Structure 1
Amino acid sequence: MAGWERLRMATRARIGLGRAGDAPALRDVLAFQMAHAEARDAVHAPLDLDRLAADLAPLSFLALRSAAPDRATYLRRPDLGRRLAPGEAAKLQAGEHDIAFILADGLSATAVQHHAPALLRAALERLRPHRVAPLVVALQARVALGDEIGAALRARLCVVLIGERPGLSVADSLGVYMTFAPRPGRADSERNCISNIHGRGGLDHAAAADKLAWLAREALARGLSGVGLKEEMNPLLPG
């Protein structure tokens, strides 16, 4: 097997591409254009709430919107995606919750559509008997929106499942951000992140749920998250 072919089996990156004269091969140009189109579609596609409700059933959710009124504003004004629209916080009911899960469209609603229901179910199985707040779906949302939602629910730990910025190798990658004692103003250094959840060279749902559950239990037990909480679970890969 040629050297470049062996390397391409180990990565989704575009390496060792051929050429036809001075130009890239047509198949590589078309593949690049397709990947670019899929990434653009993922950024702009809206979250299908009806389909999400069917995929999550019998779980139900409360849908909330950020202060960004539409997708164009959301992309131009990240700050608006970090706080709830006026009146939305009043829809949340505070309780004695250990964990609040928020499904956020982020920069790839496609990722949430494809992976969030399966990951959420797997995580809930692993987190029994912790008290879980009613599920929230956040639209036009950034990661920090979970801080306001988690604080309003009075949850000890906020877990945001969000669509990651699509690239030219994966357009539907899901990320998880976990914050202990959520409240507006939390820094990114106070969060734990699990990224690259998509199952095609990234984390599959079961492996991601294992990581999520371990970090959630440790965060609740130690009373912290972020740089002070290092993952120490057994390696997921053989050896």
Structure 2
Amino acid sequence: MSRSLADLRELTPARVGLGRSGAGLPTDALLAFTRDHARARDAVHAAFDVAGIRADLAGLGITPVEVSSQVRSRRDYLRRPDLGRMLDPASMQMLEGRGIAPCPCAIVIGDGLSPTAVNVHAVALLRQLLPRLAADRIEVGAVAVASGARVALGDEIGALAGAKMVVMLIGERPGLSAPDSLGAYLSYAPRIGLTDAERNCVSNIHGAGLGYAEAALRISWLVREGLARQLTGIGLKDESGGAASPPALSGCDNSAT
């Protein structure tokens, strides 16, 4: 049975078969592109709702540690990715002085390239993830909310927290079809200098992408197996058995680094 372009559009948010008007796009397609591009830009520059996240975490019985990278403005964040991968001196001293007990798992919530994604999805995902980790008897120690964060900042926080595994929830680079995509990056034995190949990533977590329940299943499986096998990254493949979505990535793309 032949399929039409209309059928294809029902299966994907990608821009297919837009047609043309003379040498350009039809007005509707051009306006839709302009709208989605504006939404993506707005997501990058959105305010990180630290107070709201802290309040929502309190509802889960969690009091997070608040830390910052060496970034001092959103402009710095976009121009100097390296600064977003390092804690500022005050945050480093605070973590070192807290005397945090070593733990199997630490969780870091960072703004990344889409604070919008984190504001909307991070705590909702944790509501699904924490019971799964508890069922596997995996204790979550430190929970940090990190401003001006790139993915690698989670490794430094995890190392200072004495965590065997760190789960970094962070906003991914907004796309034209998904300005609010959340990613989860997992590192075993976190430390400064880990490469992307030493992390696992579960990406595309948002309303039209990977759902919270499926994402929690995949993340909890990777945490449990990563701790058991003492590794993450290209040596750890997702065998969680989730069938509702494509497999989680082994190693990372660079969408939020």
- Equivalent position to 2:133, from 98, 121, 127: 127
Aligned to 1:21: 22
User: The residue matched to 2:89 in structure 1 has which SS?
Assistant: coil
User: The residue matched to 1:23 in structure 2 has which SS?
Assistant: coil
Output the amino acid matched with 2:204.
Answer: N
* Aligned pairs (5 A) from 1:217-228: 217-228=224-235
Structure 1 segments of 4+ aligned residues over 6 angstroms from their partners: none
* Aligned pairs (5 A) from 1:109-128: 109-128=115-134
CA distance in 1, matches of 2:53, 2:20: 43
Query: Are residue 206 (structure 1) and residue 213 (structure 2) matched?
Result: yes
Deviates more, 1:76-85 or 1:130-139: 130-139
Aligned to 1:192: 200
Deviates more, 1:133-142 or 1:151-160: 133-142
Aligned to 1:100: 106
For structure 1, the 5+ residue unaligned runs are none
Output the amino acid matched with 2:21.
Answer: A
CA distance in 1, matches of 2:86, 2:115: 18
CA distance in 2, matches of 1:23, 1:97: 57
Aligned to 1:165: 173
CA distance in 2, matches of 1:126, 1:150: 20
**What's the offset of the Cα at 1:237?**
2.8
Deviates more, 1:117-126 or 1:129-138: 129-138
| Cα displacement string for residues 100-120 of structure 1 (whole angstroms, at most 9, x for unaligned residues) | 000010000000011000111
Aligned to 1:31: 32
What's the % identity of the aligned pairs?
51
- Equivalent position to 1:70, from 64, 69, 73: 73
TM-score with structure 1 setting the length: 0.95
User: The residue matched to 1:95 in structure 2 has which SS?
Assistant: coil
Go from structure 1 to structure 2 and tell me whether the alpha carbon gap of 1:2 and 1:189 turns closer, same or farther (over 3 Å shift): closer
User: The residue matched to 2:11 in structure 1 has which SS?
Assistant: coil
User: The residue matched to 2:124 in structure 1 has which SS?
Assistant: helix
Aligned to 1:90: 93
Aligned to 1:146: 154
Deviates more, 1:213-222 or 1:17-26: 17-26
CA distance in 1, matches of 2:113, 2:57: 21
Q: Give the superposed CA RMSD.
A: 1.4
Deviates more, 1:3-12 or 1:100-109: 3-12
CA distance in 2, matches of 1:183, 1:86: 17
| Cα displacement string for residues 107-160 of structure 1 (whole angstroms, at most 9, x for unaligned residues) | 000000110001112111100132211310111100000111000000000100
Conservation of the 8 A alpha-carbon contact between 2:218 and 2:242: no
Output the amino acid matched with 1:211.
Answer: R
CA distance in 2, matches of 1:119, 1:146: 18
**What's the offset of the Cα at 1:55?**
2.6
CA distance in 1, matches of 2:132, 2:51: 26
CA distance in 2, matches of 1:14, 1:47: 30
CA distance in 2, matches of 1:154, 1:230: 25
Output the amino acid matched with 2:176.
Answer: L
